[in-house]
């Protein structure tokens, strides 16, 4: 529908579902063209008519109207005997464990849309173009709640390798969709006929319900600024025959398939008879999940790394933050790491592009430090610069290279840094990333597939005791703990009372997690003012600002000494409250940081 409407002059930035209200004749014309071409089923123009997608256009309050009108237009445009399918696509947001939207909220959104479609009289529901099995499971549950007896088709979308967008094999998702109650299972969108056929042959071998195939008219190509689908109707006709011969019982087209393509597919149906060829498939390597979790358990914390062992044993740990260089020279940062190692620091904390600056890869620095200095790195890993697949690839590589300690954070947006026009990804936030690493720690990838062995990551997360919205901060921290965090590091602590209140809140909430307090030795009054006014969550009390101002009057050296004294006092007050500290050397001054943790 979207491709055909675009071809009829509708701009790409329009809400195509809203055309059911503002341009019903245009939508009806599309349905009529497909019906005349020989379609047995037409899909309503409601693929994106859910609350989350409509909200982007300010149309969420017209959701029921858009969906009902979509059914009425389709019904009125085709002849009697042509079925009308209610088209339901993904919500366009990340749901748990990859995003903040809960399974229940997702199911409620699907239920809301489907209720309108069912009330308007659809003959069946088509759940299509889903990449996440968890999301389509909620859509299937919603369909069964809304209309238990209505037929439901459930279709996943594919990558060029024939797997779902999250890397789940066709034999795995086909079994799952059938287990969850789909009357028809299949694939649609994203790829052309050949990859669809390969997946289809796999699915037919494992499914006991009818199988469907709705490929794109090939992969779109950019031609003079427009995305054009180049697969011809004749090519589609040939592959329609192959789909039937492979065992498909429902065939059709997705993006780029015009009425001419459907007409050609109709000829293919008339020209051949489906046989019952089955494809023999080996046993799935899928790890069985119970309530979304692997039946296997992670490696014990003390066995994952030296840092993990100290956390598990309740030893007081120290971390020193060292930022990667902006150039190629690692010699200075390695010398600082060596000093920290000699001073007994347990781990070096390596930020990942702090404040969105372009620096050497923290992974490269971590490996160099691991090998040349011998001190364990604690590697920051952000969601900003990589998509889900890239993050999983990195994490598997880290395991093989011996990196064990991670601090998982969302990351500063590019607009804060050196290249504000750089593109951010943010497929997931730090909560979703924590879920991903926790799954790898039980040997399961983002698609639920067995990766062969468990990773051994010690999972750290960030937390802000001085957050403006403390209720939201506590809620997100709870989700991080639920996702599998092993420890947390706070923003720099200058106000001990803030930290004490936060730790008390954790205790009352029953959240038992080792917390490392961030400590930043101030070096000047300007440094203190900057931390207080420009670093989120770093509240510097008025008494500390006054002490730094008085010291600054005596000179820079006096101000640095006062900063170290304040940091040592802070450490003395919180030592019995936290599992350890992370010291950030101001301006790379490691000697100041080491003085903070030096014995009295």
pLDDT of residue 230: 64
Asked whether residue 261 falls in the same domain as residue 132, the answer is yes
pLDDT of residue 412: 73
Instruction: Express as a percent the part of the chain with pLDDT over 90.
Output: 58
Work out the average pLDDT over 212-224. Answer: 75
pTM above 0.85, yes or no: no
Question: Which of 341-345, 347-351, 415-419, 530-534 is predicted least confidently?
Answer: 415-419
Side-chain-side CA neighbours of 9 within 13 Å: the count stands at 2
Based on the fold, state whether residues 255 and 315 are members of the same structural domain. Answer: no
- Residue of 59, 60, 29 lying closest to 45 (CA atoms): 29
Q: Does some domain include residue 543?
A: no
296 and 266 together in one domain:
no
Phi and psi (nearest 5°) for 33?
-60, -40
Give the whole-angstrom CA distance, residue 344 versus residue 337: 11
Residues 114 and 247 in one domain: yes
pLDDT band at 472 (very low <50, low <70, confident <90, very high): confident
Q: Is residue 563 part of a domain?
A: no
Tens of pLDDT, residue by residue over 21-68, are 999 999 999 999 999 999 999 999 999 999 999 999 999 999 999 999
- Structural domain contains residue 541: no
Domain that holds residue 223: 2-271
- Average pLDDT of the residues of the chain: 87
Q: Which of 271, 302, 333 is the last residue before a domain boundary? A: 271
Q: What is the CATH number of the domain that holds 140?
A: 3.20.20.330
* 167 and 210 fall within a common domain: yes
Residue 312 and residue 266 share a domain: no
Same domain? For 243 and 319 the reply is: no
Question: Does residue 276 belong to any structural domain of this protein?
Answer: no
Which contiguous run of DSSP H or E holds residue 577?
Answer: none
User: How do beta strands 317-321 and 347-350 pair?
Assistant: parallel
Tokens 């008219």 -> residue: 217
CATH number of 304's domain: 3.20.20.220
Q: Which pLDDT belongs to residue 428?
A: 79
Strand 211-214 with 515-519, pairing: unpaired
Say if 531 falls within a structural domain. Answer: no
Quick one: pLDDT at residue 30?
Answer: 94
352 in a structural domain: yes
- For residue 187, is it within any domain? yes
Question: Domain total for the chain?
Answer: 2
- Shared-domain flag, residues 159 and 244: yes
Does the pLDDT at position 522 exceed 70?
yes
Same domain flag for 239 and 295: no
The pLDDT value recorded for residue 279 is 27
What pLDDT is attached to residue 282? Answer: 24
Distance CA 206, CA 202 (A): 7
pLDDT digits (tens, 9 = 90+) for 439-468: 999 998 887 788 888 999 999 999 988 877
Mean pLDDT of 354-377: 86
Is residue 565 situated within a structural domain? Answer: no
* Residues 344, 219 share a domain: no
pLDDT score, position 600? 58
**Residues 114, 52 share a domain:** yes
Q: Is the dihedral of CA 550, 555, 558, 559 positive or negative?
A: positive
Question: Domain boundary at 271, 300, 332, which?
Answer: 271
Domain boundary among 271, 298, 314: 271
Specify whether 150 is located in the same domain as 251: yes
């Amino acid at each position: 529908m979207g491709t055909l409407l675009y071809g009829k002059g509708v701009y790409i930035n329009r809400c195509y579902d809203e055309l059911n209200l503002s341009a019903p004749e245009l939508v009806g014309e599309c349905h009529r063209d497909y019906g005349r071409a020989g379609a047995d089923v037409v899909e309503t123009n409601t693929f994106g008519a859910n609350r989350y997608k409509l909200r982007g256009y300010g149309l969420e309050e017209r959701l029921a109207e858009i969906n009902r009108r979509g059914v009425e237009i389709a019904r009125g445009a085709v002849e009697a005997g042509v079925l009308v399918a209610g088209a339901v696509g993904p919500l366009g947001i990340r749901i748990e464990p990859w995003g903040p939207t809960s399974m229940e909220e997702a199911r409620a959104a699907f239920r809301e849309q489907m209720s309108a479609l069912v009330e308007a009289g659809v003959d069946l529901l088509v759940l299509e173009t889903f990449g996440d099995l968890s999301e389509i499971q909620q859509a299937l549950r919603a369909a069964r709640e809304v209309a238990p007896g209505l037929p439901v088709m459930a279709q996943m979308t594919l990558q060029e390798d024939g797997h779902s967008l999250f890397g789940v094999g066709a034999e795995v998702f086909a079994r799952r969709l059938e287990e969850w109650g789909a009357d028809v299972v299949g694939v649609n969108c994203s790829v052309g006929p050949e990859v669809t056929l390969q997946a289809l042959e796999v699915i037919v071998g494992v499914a006991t319900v009818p199988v469907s195939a709705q490929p794109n008219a090939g992969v779109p190509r950019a031609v003079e600024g427009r995305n054009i689908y180049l697969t011809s109707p004749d090519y589609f006709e040939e592959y329609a025959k192959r789909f039937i011969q492979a065992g498909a019982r429902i065939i059709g087209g997705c993006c780029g398939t015009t009425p001419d393509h459907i007409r050609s597919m109709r000829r293919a149906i008339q020209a051949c008879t489906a046989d019952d060829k089955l494809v023999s498939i080996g046993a799935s390597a899928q790890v069985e999940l119970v309530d979304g979790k692997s039946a296997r358990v992670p490696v014990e914390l003390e066995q994952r790394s030296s840092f993990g062992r100290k956390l598990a044993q309740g030893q007081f740990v120290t971390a020193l933050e060292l930022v990667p260089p902006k150039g190629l020279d690692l010699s200075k940062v390695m010398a600082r790491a060596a000093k920290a190692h000699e001073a007994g620091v347990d781990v070096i904390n390596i930020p990942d592009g702090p404040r969105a600056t372009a620096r050497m890869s923290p992974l490269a620095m971590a490996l160099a430090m691991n090998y040349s200095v011998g001190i364990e790195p604690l590697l920051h890993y952000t969601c900003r610069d990589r998509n889900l697949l890239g993050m999983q690839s990195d994490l598997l590589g880290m395991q093989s290279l011996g990196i064990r300690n991670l601090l998982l954070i969302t990351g500063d947006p590019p607009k804060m840094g050196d290249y504000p026009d750089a593109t951010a990804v943010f497929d997931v936030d730090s909560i979703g990333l924590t879920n991903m690493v926790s799954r790898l720690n039980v040997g399961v990838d983002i698609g639920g597939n067995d990766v062969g062995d468990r990773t051994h990551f010690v999972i750290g997360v960030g937390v802000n005791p001085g957050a403006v919205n403390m209720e939201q901060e506590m809620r997100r921290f709870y989700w991080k703990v639920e996702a599998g965090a092993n420890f947390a590091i706070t923003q720099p602590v200058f106000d001990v009372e803030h930290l004490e209140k936060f730790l008390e809140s954790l205790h009352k909430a029953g959240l038992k997690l080792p917390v490392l307090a961030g400590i930043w030795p101030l070096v000047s009054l300007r440094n203190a003012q900057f931390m207080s006014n420009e670093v989120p969550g770093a509240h510097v009390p008025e008494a500390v600002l006054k002490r730094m101002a008085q010291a600054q009057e005596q000179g820079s050296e006096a101000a640095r000494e006062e900063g170290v004294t304040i940091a040592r006092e802070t450490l003395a007050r919180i030592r019995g409250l936290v599992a350890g500290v992370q010291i950030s050397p101001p301006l790379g001054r490691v000697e100041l940081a080491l003085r903070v943790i030096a014995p009295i």
